[in-house]
Amino acid sequence: MNKTEIAEILAKPYAQQLLNGPEPARFAYDGLDGDPRVIPIGFWIEGDQLLMATVPKAAKVAALRKNPKVALTIDTGAFPPKVLLLRGTAEVELLQGIPEGYLVAGRKVMTEDQYGDWLEGVKALYTEMAVITVTLTWAKLLDFETTIPKAVEDLIAAKQQEG
């Protein structure tokens, strides 16, 4: 999948709602032991990259340096579901201070009252952060209105041919 195709998917209204809404990404990667991991994590977007920040000594930092291939999903719990599926390659960079995007990501999930206390705690805790930048290599939006999983499309087509 090329960058233009990925950009077209990310530009769709439902994709934009998911990318800018309060839902966390579910971030999948392989741990150092080779076993898969999936974690909920806040994120922000810069251009065609998805970014997250974490503690520099987090287990995922070392794991991503060893194997940078990742997958993410951002979805709603409502019906019909809206699901943005992403794959890419992660790079990890150690930064001094707190990235502005991390603060923006935090604001997406909190009320104004909650955000103030959270921000105070974040500023007291972090002097540096590991920023994970995912360069996307694949994307798919399933909105169950205009797009559905390929296997379901195939089943519908087969049933229509039967009838």
Residue 149's pLDDT is what? 82
| b/e code 49-83 from CB counts within 10 Å (16+ = b) | ebbbbbebebebbebbeeebebbbbbbbeeeeebb
Residue 159's pLDDT is what? 83
Total structural domains in the chain? 1
- Mean per-residue pLDDT, 60-79: 95
85-102 tens-digit pLDDT: 999 999 999 999 999 999
- Mean per-residue pLDDT, 49-70: 97
- Mean per-residue pLDDT, 132-139: 97
Residue 101's pLDDT is what? 96
- How crowded is residue 18: how many other Cβ atoms within 10 Å of its Cβ? 21
Q: Where are the beta strands (DSSP E) in 58-125?
A: 69-75, 83-96
Q: Is it the case that residue 75 has pLDDT exceeding 80?
A: yes
Q: Is it the case that residue 148 has pLDDT exceeding 80?
A: no
- Mean per-residue pLDDT, 27-42: 97
SS3 135: strand
Structure tokens that stand for 77 in this block = 């719990």
Q: List CB contacts of 157: < 8 A, sequence separation 6 or more.
A: none
Q: Facing residues of 142 across strands? A: 83
SS3 98: coil
Longest Cα separation, the chain = 65
CATH number where 88 lies: 2.30.110.10
What value does the CA radius of gyration of the chain take, rounded to a whole number of Å?
18
Structure tokens that stand for 39 in this block = 């974690």
Which residue has 């992660």 as its token pair?
A: 90
Dihedral of CA atoms 84, 3, 137, 154 in degrees, nearest 10, equals 60
Q: 105: domain range?
A: 3-162
8 or 80: which carries more pLDDT confidence?
Answer: 8
